[in-house]
Structure 1
Amino acid sequence: MRQIVLDTETTGLSWEKGNRIVEIGCIELVERRPTGRHFHRYFNPGREMEPGAQEVTGLTLDFLRDKPRFESAVDELIEFIRGAELIIHNASFDVGFLDYELSLAGRQHGRVSDHASVLDTLAMARERYPGQRNSLDALCRRLGVDNGHRKLHGALLDAELLAEVYLGMTSGQGDLGLAASGEPEAAAAAATAARLAGTSTARVVRRASAAEEAAHAERLAKIAKRAGKLLWPGAGTSA
């Protein structure tokens, strides 16, 4: 299963008021394991940051002025998320902004739902921890995720933290280790079916060498001397 942990930073809280995405960060997971692939971009929003947004992100229009516009990265972003499950905290916020940006870039780009499914970790946390604070910081504290280096909001950093939070909230729901062992699921299923059908494969029998048998016999003799007898008489002889 391929998943993309995604976060955005914006010029303000409402895309309906013309606010824009200024940063996007994505982390790829395959079979619940980080692959090392990520997508990270800053964008020139073409408008000022609202004071609250600037305060929590530390981003300014001066810093963003020479960055590309969002539409320049649309095709690359869509290709990165295509066919994946997006893991987003408070997904309605980020998806609303992404759909708005896609619409500005051209109707041919569609909506987020045309390219990927979405899992909202905020909804998951509210179900799992009812009546408790479920912000990303609160979940980090609850699940033992180190976020001490998070002084400001940043899309890539927050995506990295959210990946750890998501894995912590869903521990025990992973695969059975087939991906880690390198054995494809189809091969594992075929092997199981073969065993259940009673088929067998040739086994290689490795005989002990003369030196190994001598060392084994010596070891048994020492055990017999201490214990007075052996529980397995003749165990030191070759079969």
Structure 2
Amino acid sequence: MREIVLDTETTGFDPLQGDRIVEIGCVELINHLPSGKVYHQYINPERFMPDEAFKVHGLSDQFLADKPVFAEIVADFRAFIGDDPLVIHNAEFDMKFLNAEFARLGFAAMPMSRAIDTVIMARKKFPGSPANLDALCRRFEIDNSNRTFHGALLDSELLAEVYLQLIGGRQPGFELGLAGTKGGAQVQVVRERREPRPHAPTPEETEAHMAFVAKLKKAIWLREPEPEGSGEQA
């Protein structure tokens, strides 16, 4: 199963007011685990960078000036994400920006049903607790010490680890082999020998048992043993 963990950085909060995407980061998951394939692209937004947005991601007008515009990267981006589910933290935000960029170029919008929103997942799993990415990294003991600024690729990599924990985490391995064993785990079973416990009935128990059996009809304890070889032939 292929999924794409995705994050964007933008010039603001509202694409309908002229805000644009300035960075996209994606991490490919196969069966919920990173495959090693990523997509990362800085984008010239064709507009100035507000100070408030610069303080969040640190991407300046000067840095983005020579980067490609969205129309130049859209084919590679669409090819990378394909038709697979998109794992996004606060999916509504990123989806509205991506769909706004697609609309400018005449592409159909992606449906929200395609997105797996990890904010919603976290709030269901931990109601009343903070659901931002930093808080979830702390909860799951994921190292986010490099996150001095918001960055689309770094945030996607962190989100991939958070997502794995939200859906149940890694299955623990069976550490059955001896240390240093090569070629797979080997099971070593150690059995503790115990002395046999006495189990013969007392004379009183035997007498009580026989008195009980005497009251039964056709009790198996009173049957005569059949001679060997007297059973029916198959």
CA contact (8 A) 2:27 2:156 kept: yes
Measure, in 2, the Cα distance between the counterparts of 1:122 and 1:172: 17
The secondary structure found in structure 1 opposite 2:24 is: strand
Extract unaligned runs of 5+ from structure 1. Answer: 175-239
1:111 is aligned, of 97, 109, 112, to 109
User: Could you tell me the TM-score, scaled by structure 2's length?
Assistant: 0.70
For residues 149-206 of structure 1, what are the alpha-carbon distances to aligned partners after superposition, in whole Å with 9 as ceiling and x for unaligned? 11000000000000000001112598xxxxxxxxxxxxxxxxxxxxxxxxxxxxxxxx
Amino acid in structure 2 at the alignment position of 1:23: E
Match of 1:138 in 2: 135
Shift, 1:52, TM fit: 1.3
1:100 aligns with 2:97: no
1:173/1:164 CA distance change after superposition, 3 Å? closer
Larger-gyration structure (1/2): 2
Measure, in 1, the Cα distance between the counterparts of 2:122 and 2:32: 18
1:163 is aligned, of 160, 163, 166, to 160
The number of residue pairs the alignment matches comes to 171
The secondary structure found in structure 1 opposite 2:163 is: helix
1:15 aligns with 2:11: no
Amino acid in structure 2 at the alignment position of 1:80: F
Shift, 1:77, TM fit: 1.1
Measure, in 2, the Cα distance between the counterparts of 1:83 and 1:101: 17
**Percent of aligned pairs sharing the same letter:** 49
Measure, in 1, the Cα distance between the counterparts of 2:169 and 2:56: 34
Measure, in 2, the Cα distance between the counterparts of 1:17 and 1:173: 42
User: Could you tell me the TM-score, scaled by structure 1's length?
Assistant: 0.69
Aligned positions of 1:177-188 closer than 5 A: none
Match of 1:68 in 2: 68
Shift, 1:113, TM fit: 2.7
The secondary structure found in structure 2 opposite 1:97 is: helix
1:81 aligns with 2:78: no
Match of 1:209 in 2: none
The secondary structure found in structure 2 opposite 1:112 is: coil
Extract unaligned runs of 5+ from structure 2. Answer: 172-234
Runs of at least 4 residues off by over 3 Å: none
The secondary structure found in structure 1 opposite 2:160 is: helix
Match of 1:91 in 2: 91
Measure, in 2, the Cα distance between the counterparts of 1:113 and 1:79: 17
Shift, 1:146, TM fit: 0.5
